Amino acid sequence: MFRDKGLAFKLILFILVCTVSIFGVAFAYDYYTSRDTVLKNVEENAANLTLSTVHQIESILKSVERVSLNTAALIEQQSFTAPELVSLVETMVSRNREIYGMTVSFEPYAFDPESLYFAPYTCRTPDGRIRSYPPEYFAYPYFYWDWYQLPKELGRPVWTEPYFDEGAGNAVMSTFSTPFYRHRDGGNRFQGVSTADLSLEWLADVVRQVKIYETGYAFLISQNGVFVTHPHTELIMRRSIFSIAEERLDYRLREVGRAMIRGERGFVSITDFVSGKKSWLYYAPLPSSKWAIGVIFPEDELFADVNQLGRQVLTIGGVGFLVLAFIVAWIAQTITRPLRSLADTTVAIAHGNLDIDLPEFPSRDEIGKLTNSFRDMRAALKEYIQNLAATTAAKERMESELKIARVIQMSFLPKQFPRLSHRYSLEISAKLEPAREIGGDFYDYFLMDSSHLLVTAGDVSDKGIPAALFMAVTKTLIKGMAEPGMEPSTILEKVNRELCLENESMMFVTLFCGILDLETGEFRYSNAGHCPPILLPSRETPAWLDTPAGFVLGVDEDSSYETSGIFLAPGDGIFLYTDGVTEAKSASNNFFSEQGLLELVRSNGEASADELVHTVFSTVTDFCAGVPLFDDVTILAVRYRGTKHPQNGGLETWK
């Protein structure tokens, strides 16, 4: 989309995009850094505020607990009459304003052997007066209630879950109950409980005094997650934090509720389950009652100052961006106007008009230097076109000569099967593919006499025309010096001495030379640094042929070579190749490798010579798909079929 736009447009776009990017990164960094700073301060303030409220509530709870504990201790230490107990309860309630109500409840018949119930109760009325109920007023089985059963069964003081006390207190409250005992029959026997009631409405007033921004608030939950206090009174004693989480499928709120009732503290991001706004919650435990307090901080109010500052910065940045865009556009147009004129001229030059006049720019800046460079380029281009025509003609002649050289080189290689006596049966197949137009690999096979076949495969150290010439010389020397009855090692020594003469370029050739006796199947061979062939037994697995060591040809005229021999049974064969096969590379830069070649030959061990050559060559070609050959590829396979003679009525059988 921007490819066809002018330089001025691209320059303006580039500068403005970079400016916006830098400003955006700086703004984002400043904004989020400010948020983190505010959040850290809020968390610290929330912790202080919450813990201060916790301490305030704890002091109230401790006061309530002390009254219950002290009363229980008094009853354990001395005996009281019924009026004295009623007076004691009234005194405790009147002198401790944080206590809503109080009772001393005895086990059945524990206070009076003739009375099943004994539980004098005193509480505060809504107008602040003290009201007492005689012991006989509560003639009901109070000893089944939680505030009585829990301390009795646990054997320790406990805070009860919030409940509505109907009939006496007529208020939502929580009770701290302390068991008291009497020493009888050699042990302590449970006698009853001393309770102190805490009005949750009065406690809610304490929590409600916690001021958090405009709409923030605090709440209390019991040890089971039930709301003890909350600004929305319809939640108190009716809902729990877990029921709300289940209703809203808010798994985050459920995890927070679990952490709160476990007595943990934390500062987390949640969605306010009342307003639905994104908020932050700080929660902490109340150790005495195992309740927990939570403080909600609305996020929009939390970051109001940061957001306001961000809007101001964006406004200032937007105005600055418009001013910068105007300045950049003016500068870009001033700079690119001469370039547009120069571009129009160079278009004409690109279309072949090398005589057009270039615009004159008196300045010595980059545009003036560029104009002079184009003027020099125009002159150089004229000269280059003239030279290019001559070079192209020379290159075409060279390519034509290389094609002819390739045809000549390939014509050196044998293409026809040697004419054998009707007594012998043999298969020979070969394939050569140069890496360039012409290469340095070669192969050859010919009859030294009527029953001896010579086969060779070689690889010259270089590529191209020098390698092709050295290959032609080597192939010619082998054919000219090989005489009947001569050992392969002798042939290599004679060829080596000839190649070493005046070899100033120090080119060399690796060569494998073998002679097959078609009458007996004996195969005698020698090697000059060439890749070891693969033996192809007809009834066994193909394997590497053990070759004698020998130095390459063309380097040391005193090098000597050894001859080894094996007997080929009918159906056995020899597979020759050059390192262009094993060192062929794939697109993933992997080598075909010697092991890969051996496995491929083994999987085609029963194939004919022609089938084997075709299979190996096509497999290597597919392996190098998409990658040019790095080295010449040469393959030669010989399959010996033995001698034949008519017998059994003219049928042919094999030795």
Phi/psi at 533 (nearest 5 deg)? -70, 175
Q: What is the pLDDT of residues 224-269, one digit of tens each?
A: 889 888 888 888 888 888 998 888 888 888 999 999 989 898 888 8
- Residue 369 covered by a domain: no
pLDDT band at 647 (very low <50, low <70, confident <90, very high): very low
CATH number at residue 232: 3.30.450.20
- Residue 504 covered by a domain: yes
Neighbour count for residue 210 (Cβ, 10 Å): 17
Query: In the chain, how many domains are there?
Result: 2
As a whole number, the mean pLDDT across the chain is 82
- Pick the residue with more confidence: 614 or 28? 614
pLDDT at 595 over 70: yes
Tokens of 199: 């009005």
- Pick the residue with more confidence: 459 or 405? 459
pLDDT band at 650 (very low <50, low <70, confident <90, very high): very low
Distance of alpha carbon 207 from alpha carbon 216, whole angstroms? 12
What's the rounded mean pLDDT across residues 82-86? 89
3-state DSSP percent of the chain in helix, strand and coil, to 5: 45, 25, 30
Residue 652 is predicted with a pLDDT of 34
Q: What is the pLDDT of residues 47-57, one digit of tens each?
A: 787 788 888 88
- Residue 554 covered by a domain: yes
Phi/psi at 138 (nearest 5 deg)? -100, 65
What's the rounded mean pLDDT across residues 364-392? 69
- Residue 290 covered by a domain: yes
CB within 8 A of 56, min separation 6: which ones?
A: 206
The alpha-carbon radius of gyration of the chain (Å, integer) is 54
DSSP 556-593: -TT-----EEEEPPTT-EEEEE-HHHHT-B-TTS-B--
Among candidate residues 302, 320, 349, the one where a domain is terminated: 302
- Residue 373 covered by a domain: no
With b for 16 or more beta-carbon neighbours within 10 A and e for fewer, the 433-469 pattern comes to ebbbbbbbbbbbbeebeebbbbbbbbbbbbbbbebbb
Tokens of 319: 């105005």
What's the rounded mean pLDDT across residues 477-503? 91
What's the rounded mean pLDDT across residues 218-222? 88
pLDDT band at 646 (very low <50, low <70, confident <90, very high): very low
pLDDT at 180 over 90: yes
Residue 545 is predicted with a pLDDT of 95
Distance of alpha carbon 337 from alpha carbon 333, whole angstroms? 6
The answer to whether 490 touches 525, Cβ cutoff 8 Å, is no
**Same domain, yes or no, for 469 and 605?**
yes
- Pick the residue with more confidence: 432 or 166? 432
Range among 132-146, 166-180, 499-513, 637-651 with highest mean pLDDT value: 499-513
What's the rounded mean pLDDT across residues 521-525? 95
CA dist list (Å): 245 to 25, 237, 242, 248, 270: 38, 16, 5, 5, 11
> Which of these ranges, 77-81, 93-97, 209-213, has the smallest mean pLDDT?
209-213
Residue 472 is predicted with a pLDDT of 86
Place of tokens 């003469």: 501
Q: Which amino acid is at 564?
A: S
pLDDT band at 654 (very low <50, low <70, confident <90, very high): very low
Among candidate residues 253, 284, 302, the one where a domain is terminated: 302
pLDDT at 467 over 80: yes
pLDDT at 312 over 70: no
Among candidate residues 257, 275, 302, the one where a domain is terminated: 302
Place of tokens 């034949």: 644
Cα torsion 491, 497, 502, 507 to 10°: value is: 60
Share of the chain above pLDDT 90, in %: 27
pLDDT at 41 over 80: no
Q: Sort residue 331 into left (φ over 0), alpha (ψ -120 to 50) or beta.
A: alpha
What's the rounded mean pLDDT across residues 286-293? 85
Residue 239 is predicted with a pLDDT of 87
- Residue 192 covered by a domain: no
- Residue 372 covered by a domain: no
User: Positive or negative, the Cα torsion across 594, 600, 603, 606?
Assistant: negative
What's the rounded mean pLDDT across residues 401-411? 61
> Which residues are registered as beta bridge partners of 566?
523
Q: Which domain holds residue 528?
A: 418-654
pTM over 0.85: no
CB within 8 A of 297, min separation 6: which ones?
A: 42, 46, 212, 213, 216, 279, 280, 281, 282
Cα torsion 149, 152, 155, 160 to 10°: value is: 30
> Which of these ranges, 16-25, 154-163, 437-446, 607-616, has the smallest mean pLDDT?
16-25
Neighbour count for residue 154 (Cβ, 10 Å): 11
- Residue 375 covered by a domain: no
pLDDT at 360 over 70: no
CATH number at residue 423: 3.60.40.10
CA dist list (Å): 285 to 256, 269, 467, 554, 587: 12, 18, 91, 95, 67
132-139: long-range contacts at Cβ-Cβ below 8 A with a sequence spacing of 24 or more?
132/86, 132/89, 132/90, 133/168, 134/86, 135/82, 135/85, 135/86, 137/168, 138/103, 138/167, 138/168
The answer to whether 294 touches 260, Cβ cutoff 8 Å, is yes
**Same domain, yes or no, for 422 and 291?**
no
